[in-house]
Structure 1
Amino acid sequence: ALDTVREAGFRLLALTPDERAVPMDEVAPHRLERVALMLGAEGAGLSGRALGAADTWVRIPMAHGVDSLNVGAAAAVAFYAVTTGRPES
């Protein structure tokens, strides 16, 4: 199914707290024409297979000592990052 999303012109961004992920503000998802956000289950996160299928791993920058957000809060922050700065249609 992810191949179908990619073929439709979407860039797959996998949210993960992994330190190898690019901070979301550096990816500037609001500048991408089509974005599909991949969110994992609370606790386990995305599977290795899902992470491997993503175009880019992104993380939400957080204060020192905070290592993750619940999936609802992470989704809200990510959706805001994707839509902020987009021209209104």
Structure 2
Amino acid sequence: MLLLCPLTAAPEGVPLRVALLSGCGHFRRRLADLGVVPGARMTLVRRGSPVLLALGDARFGLGRGMAERIFVDLDEGEV
């Protein structure tokens, strides 16, 4: 069972749920614009720089610094 961990430490290809965003209001707003909000379901496609994410039908990359401030756990609804 995966406990809360930064996105950069999560396993690839496993359904994840955003649990916590660690950062200021600007950072949170930027992620919210992408759909990365607490409770959102996503999959880590590839670790590295950039980190590649799948969120619904969208695929996008985030810098490692941003990804380290996104904390996730297993999406129990999908496991």
Asked if Structure 1 and Structure 2 have the same fold, meaning a TM-score greater than 0.5 normalized by the shorter chain, the answer is no
Relative to its length, the structure with more helix (as a share) is 1
Relative to its length, the structure with more strand (as a share) is 2
Q: Which of 1 and 2 has greater Rg?
A: 1
Higher relative contact order (CA 8 A, sep 6+): 2
